[in-house]
Amino acid sequence: MTEAAKWIVKDPAEEDVYWPSKEMKKRAWISDESIYEEAARDPVAFWAERAREGLDWYKEWDEAYKWEPPYFKWFIGGKLNASYNCLDRHVKTWRRNKAAIIGVREPIDEEAKVLTYYDLYREVNKFANVLKSLGVKKGDRVSIYLPMIPEVQIAMLACARIGAPHSVVFSAFSSDSLKDRIIDAESKTLVTCDGYYRRGRPVNLKDNADKAVEGTTIENVIVFKRTGGEVRWAEGRDHWWHELMKDAPLYYKPEVMDSEDVLYILYTSGTTGNPKGVIHTTGGYMTQAYWTTKWDFDIHDEDVFWCTADVGWVTGHTYNCYGPLSVGATQIFYEGAPNYPEPDRMWQIIENYGVTAFYTAPTAIRMFMSWGDEWPKKHNLSSLHLLATVGEPINREAWMWYFNTIGGGRCPIIDTWWQTETGGTLINALPGVGPFIPCVAGRSFPGTRHEILDEGGKPVGLNEGGYLVQRPSFGPGMLRGVYKSPETYKTNYWSQYGNEAYYTSDGARMPKEKLFRLTGRVDDVMKVAGHRLSTAEVENAIGGHPSVAESAVVPAPDEIRGQVPWAFVRLKEGEGSDELAKEIRSHVGKVLGPTCRPDKIIFATDLPKTRSGKIMRRILRSLAKNEAVGDLTTIENPACVEELKQKVGHKAAS
């Protein structure tokens, strides 16, 4: 590769502000900001045009958008199939022989499994026939419990081809979590595998699956052979993937689906409470998946896109499956751990495959940072043209490290705000438009509108904190309901501001006209002596101290000031001391002012996280209030809760 292009330029006047370079503007799909105004003039017409241009429809819709509060529909009467849009239309072109998925295996000496669009097309067709042979029909739910191997996209797209909504369950979830989700979805079919590799060790997944299906509606279990390890077998119920596939017919005619037919059900991360079964339908979701992939990550045919999210989360659904495949992109899909065999595995993959756009989470970035710069420095990362993040607010330290150490100071960072509920990204900078500013996600995606409101529903002024909402017409990829729980749908999203606005549960402020800065979950906002404090901003300031790896701030009750911030801090190394606590407090005081200084600093070896890597502040909040810590089923590291209980002298029963 010749000298790496520079994709961004620094603002000449403003600290920490970057813009797309001439080269970026030239390569970007969107480099003229007039797109925002154009879309805002008639968002429904804008999305209808996108749906027409981006997707193949069997029949065009009769009406583009309908709002029957609190429900809305997109492309009513339109007919399409998601799998057709990800496969059939590409195999009719030169993309037939293009790599669709580069499945990188964890064992370093195992060849990647590369599937061209034609390979994927063939496997999906066959697997759709396999599902049919086991009695799966349009409308039946299929549970999928698979690790990060390309068979997961094969299974998902085969379901989409039949019109059977899938419910993918994260492979690191326990058998109990899988069981709950199977019961909720009432699936009769489960797709799983014998096992997979994690840090060099084979993990037996079939054991978990066996326990989970007992006493449920599951009649058939399809098992892909990945590790060849020993598994228990229930004759009649269990079937080997390869045996069923051997004679499966090569073509399955895609089911003609209504735009509003369910594509999948997916449960949220459970950061704030019990996971919700979010419903996504076909036409609107696919439209948003297609255009956000293309415009946010600026994906062209020659690009290699890598989204590191596990397919068990919405990011994996939209940006490891439906988005990149509908645009005809090449993507990396990595099975294993980021530090196996060494902490440079990610950077080695980027170098080996010439990855051009890389999408990961702040929690991963902080982990890479703590492993040290020597690991990325070993590799040539000059193929990258764009970096992106999702999942949590990204603190300035992590942003700068990502920007400089991974991006070589050449690449924009696209900080995408969105939710399982929104189906695709909604707030972020576009690579050819900018600006790129640490901690600022950016503007509403063209054709969507967000506002920040106060408790009474009035928009707040510039720089004032408030509640982030979405205004109609709602993004086409938004949820259409919560599975079997219309009440949850109404109370979670439509009770705060009635039908005037979709409530996101996130706090935000606008540092500049139209630009959104996310300030943390609404539940975590605290009032200290009458001042509203945002957790993300205090955490950002704490993260500026050189000894801190990451932190989580929560309110603790205080007789005089109402609430005071407590900070749980994980250090880069060492144990922490009173001296260091004092230093961190005064550092925060200097950056944000004395009211923001944490009252108490608790040094911890680990912070409680969901399995998607997000900090569970609700647990810390309960510790600070001396209340029971509540449901721990979605936690990754339960042992750390015990350590923290001891440190804060927590007495409440769990």
Point out which residues bind ligand ATP (CB under 6 A): 268-273, 275-276, 313, 390-393, 415-420, 441, 504-506, 518, 521, 614
User: For residues 129 and 318, which CB has a smaller minimum distance to ligand ATP in the complex?
Assistant: 318
Token couple for 583: 């230093």
Region at 357 (left for phi over 0; alpha for psi -120 to 50; beta for the rest): beta
Helix residue ranges per DSSP H, 163-255:
175-185, 205-213, 241-246
User: For residues 35 and 536, which CB has a smaller minimum distance to ligand ATP in the complex?
Assistant: 536
The pairs formed by 208-214 with CB atoms below 8 angstroms and a separation of 24 or more are: 208/145, 208/174, 208/175, 208/178, 209/145, 209/175, 209/178, 210/175, 210/234, 211/175, 211/179, 212/145, 212/175, 212/176, 212/178, 212/179, 212/182, 213/179, 213/182, 213/237, 214/179
Other residues' Cβ atoms within 10 Å of the Cβ of residue 541? 26
User: For residues 220 and 612, which CB has a smaller minimum distance to ligand ATP in the complex?
Assistant: 612
β strands within 580-623, DSSP E = 600-603
Which run of H or E residues covers position 334? strand 330-334
Nearest distance in Å: CB 439, ligand ATP: 9
Nearest distance in Å: CB 296, ligand ATP: 12
Residue type, 444: S
Other residues' Cβ atoms within 10 Å of the Cβ of residue 343? 18
Find, among 317, 362, 397, the residue nearest to 587 by Cα.
397
User: For residues 124 and 525, which CB has a smaller minimum distance to ligand ATP in the complex?
Assistant: 525
Nearest distance in Å: CB 314, ligand ATP: 6
Token couple for 516: 């959104």
Greatest Cα pair distance, the chain, in angstroms, is 74
At residue 612, what are phi and psi to the nearest 5 degrees?
-90, 5
Nearest distance in Å: CB 280, ligand ATP: 12
Find, among 76, 100, 75, the residue nearest to 87 by Cα.
100
Nearest distance in Å: CB 612, ligand ATP: 6
User: For residues 585 and 614, which CB has a smaller minimum distance to ligand ATP in the complex?
Assistant: 614
Token couple for 34: 């007039």
Token couple for 427: 């707030």
User: For residues 330 and 470, which CB has a smaller minimum distance to ligand ATP in the complex?
Assistant: 470
Nearest distance in Å: CB 395, ligand ATP: 11
Nearest distance in Å: CB 152, ligand ATP: 18
Nearest distance in Å: CB 536, ligand ATP: 7
User: For residues 51 and 390, which CB has a smaller minimum distance to ligand ATP in the complex?
Assistant: 390
Q: At what angle do helices 205-213 and 175-185 cross, to 10 degrees?
A: 50
Omega before residue 70 within 30° of 0, cis: yes
User: For residues 213 and 314, which CB has a smaller minimum distance to ligand ATP in the complex?
Assistant: 314
DSSP assignments along 431-477, one per residue? TTT--BBTTB-BEEPTT-EEEEE-TTSPBPPTT--EEEEEESSPPTT
User: For residues 193 and 388, which CB has a smaller minimum distance to ligand ATP in the complex?
Assistant: 388
Nearest distance in Å: CB 594, ligand ATP: 26
User: For residues 90 and 181, which CB has a smaller minimum distance to ligand ATP in the complex?
Assistant: 181
Distance CA 129, CA 154 (A): 12
User: For residues 187 and 420, which CB has a smaller minimum distance to ligand ATP in the complex?
Assistant: 420
In the chain, helix, strand, coil percent, each to 5? Answer: 35, 25, 40
> Do residues 394 and 386 make contact, with C-beta atoms less than 8 angstroms apart?
no
Nearest distance in Å: CB 635, ligand ATP: 12
Nearest distance in Å: CB 274, ligand ATP: 7
Nearest distance in Å: CB 365, ligand ATP: 12
**C-alpha of 454 from chain center:** 27
User: For residues 121 and 295, which CB has a smaller minimum distance to ligand ATP in the complex?
Assistant: 295
